[in-house]
Structure 1
């Protein structure tokens, strides 16, 4: 009986270790104002920054045992967690400084914060002082950010044994932090789909909106589209990077170098005008010793910091609301959608509609792709 119980407990532990990512969004209807001016974008941005800073500060109160239990893991990599926390604090401080620049136009969520220490202190108490106008937003926002932080800390806890987008492996990698304030890059992964699929609809929609994006394609799927017909019209006006020959982790795959060579050659041959020398690793997983090979292929790893999570149970609107909340939080970044998912286009439509007057900008895909 004891042996059976121990085996059962072990299976539970393994299940916790391998638990799938939690899909979390935030209902933007709980925020009482439309983002119809740059000033109101800043108000909402300051609020989300303070809300996330609050849960980040709370997480630092947990000891290793409590943190391990909260993340559902057997053990955690504390040095990486501390490094990720420090980077998150730096981004929050930078973002809050940017968002404060409109405080003369609207003083909501403006506090005498002149240092990162001030931000820590203010985030712990601001929720009690928001007034009735924002009261319905406070607790749901706190819950969203607590779950979002768990996403990040869980990835940090497993890094670098399991690599992900939570941390860069070298200075040659990109993750959106290099963009200017209020600038965002649209990216899509997992395609192309078969002719007439959501990939076709998405690229057509972007052209009609006079927007561009980087589509990270799989070599085998591009080969299938090429065998069925022309691919140049599909990606006209867009940029195309690579995700490898097939959608699988390139961290442990012995054929990862061949995967990159084949997919790179395919895109360069079929789409020379659209090609940009960027690799988006599936699941964010790549090899720590791959720097030399990447450089030899003139490739850079392109990560993301805003994931739409449109490949799970979230509806198109919930996915878009998640993206918008994280745009307000980080104020810049690389957004990842999946063009093979039919919900990606309605999600993007919602996002564009609700940010049309907010003062944000969309990064040119070719400028980003060719940047040294």
Structure 2
């Protein structure tokens, strides 16, 4: 056991070595190495609050140790690892501080269902330092049969934190969902414990495509989501049907804007027209007051000084904090199930990003609904944010 810990836990060095394998990325691209987990290594169901909380406690104790190691990465480590030319250390430290604070809060929340004989219960840590100390002690006494789970979660945490640190290092030069510019932007951080909202981007597809399949899946499972539609796609489909058909397509769901075209609204000269044009189209298609006053920027990219424009338009910027990576060709539906449930155990609340132009979510989500049972609350899209 001790030898294994020595190999795992001086993470400032091991993380840097691990991350140097990341190839260069375009600013708007997703991660080169997608964090993947294997929830099958966790031996107990997570479909009740007690089961969810136990798995959450264990996941958080492992996660914060990796987070502690990644915190030790120097600027040089990150510049080399992330293949970037400059980084914003203030932004990196801000993200790390927030992540430690949320991890502490989430462990405290998960501890409300603790019992004295539970090996995932380490007391009620009052601060981050206390949590890290308890996590280090806990890590030396993990049941032998759960070491494969711990090692798998550690690898997942390394890759996931690398995804987030790269975004933080680039912010605000390259804006993303990693941080907010003002209070008119929201990302799910303020949701209540074990509360999650489904969102889908980039649709609609042509008739009888994956958008239709996704909507039927949600209806069957009695779930709702916000669909952030691209004006161009919406107009193309609407021109082949009717406004009434489009309104009926999204019945019982929520519709908001993703802009007219899928390009960065931080660099596009016509970004304001993109937003106005899309909202005008939606407002002529749907009944009054049924189009939600949200805009989700493609790639999460928007101008730092755009707050005044959104306020004048009566809009809020809708970000996310749980990315399924379902658009990625290297990610399977099974990867999505494992990734998202693992993130739900660590984050314990938030906004999930999927894409209805891709088919993976329609098969992954029903499995997630079943696996999680009544352990979490799937938020009604009509009550967002």
* TM-score for the superposition, normalised by structure 2: 0.89
Q: 126-135 or 261-270, which moves further after superposition?
A: 126-135
Distance change >3 Å, CA 34–CA 364, structure 1 → 2: same
Aligned length: 355
How is 1:163-242 mapped onto 2 (pairs within 5 angstroms)? 163-229=175-241, 230-242=245-257
Q: In 1, distance between residues paired with 2:42 and 2:283?
A: 45
Which residue in the other structure is 1:253 paired with?
Answer: 268
What SS does structure 2 have at the residue aligned with 1:228? coil
> Which residue of 1 is the match for residue 58 of structure 2?
47
Which residue of the partner structure matches residue 80 of structure 2? Answer: 69
Contact 2:198 2:351 in 1 (8 A): yes
Contact 2:207 2:237 in 1 (8 A): yes
| Aligned positions of 1:314-353 closer than 5 A | 314-353=331-370
Contact 1:164 1:284 in 2 (8 A): yes
CA shift digits 1:180-221 (9 cap, x unpaired): 001000000010000000100111221122211100000011
State the Cα deviation string for residues 109-133 of structure 1 (Å, max 9, x = none): 1113222211122233432211124
CA distance 1:246–1:105, shift in 2 (3 Å): farther
Q: CA deviation at 1:250?
A: 0.2
User: Out of 28, 32, 35, which is 2:43 matched to?
Assistant: 32
Equivalent residues in 2 for 1:146-161, closer than 5 Å: 146-161=158-173
Q: How far off its partner does 1:134 sit?
A: 1.8
In the aligned structure 1, how far is the partner of 2:204 from the partner of 2:196? 22
Is the 2:221–2:366 Cα contact (8 Å) retained in structure 1? Answer: no
- Residue matched to 1:119: 131
Asked if the contact 2:35–2:157 (Cα under 8 Å) also holds between the matched residues in 1, the reply is no
Q: Residue 291 of structure 2 is aligned with which of 271, 275, 278? A: 275
Match of 1:11 in 2: none
Give the match for residue 24 of structure 2.
16
Which secondary structure does the structure 2 equivalent of 1:25 belong to? coil
Q: Which deviates more from structure 2 when the two are superposed, residues 258-267 or residues 70-79?
A: 70-79
Query: Given that residues 317 and 350 in structure 1 are in contact (C-alpha distance below 8 angstroms), is that contact kept between their aligned partners in structure 2?
Result: no
- RMSD between aligned residues: 1.6
**Greater shift in the superposed pair: 121-130 or 154-163:** 121-130
Q: 1:85 aligns with which of 85, 96, 109?
A: 96
Q: Please report how far the alpha carbon of residue 105 of structure 1 lies from its aligned counterpart in structure 2 after TM superposition.
A: 7.4
Deviations 1:282-309 (A, max 9, x none): 0000011110110111100010000110
> 2:247 aligns to what SS in structure 1?
coil
Moved over 4 A (4+): none
Superposed displacement of residue 17, structure 1: 5.3
Q: 1:208 to 1:302 in 2, by over 3 A?
A: same
SS at match of 1:129: coil
Q: Distance in 2 between matches of 1:342 and 1:155?
A: 26
Q: Distance in 2 between matches of 1:237 and 1:103?
A: 38
The runs of 5 or more residues in structure 1 that have no matched partner are 1-14
TM-score normalised over the length of structure 1:
0.92
Shift of 1:49: 1.1
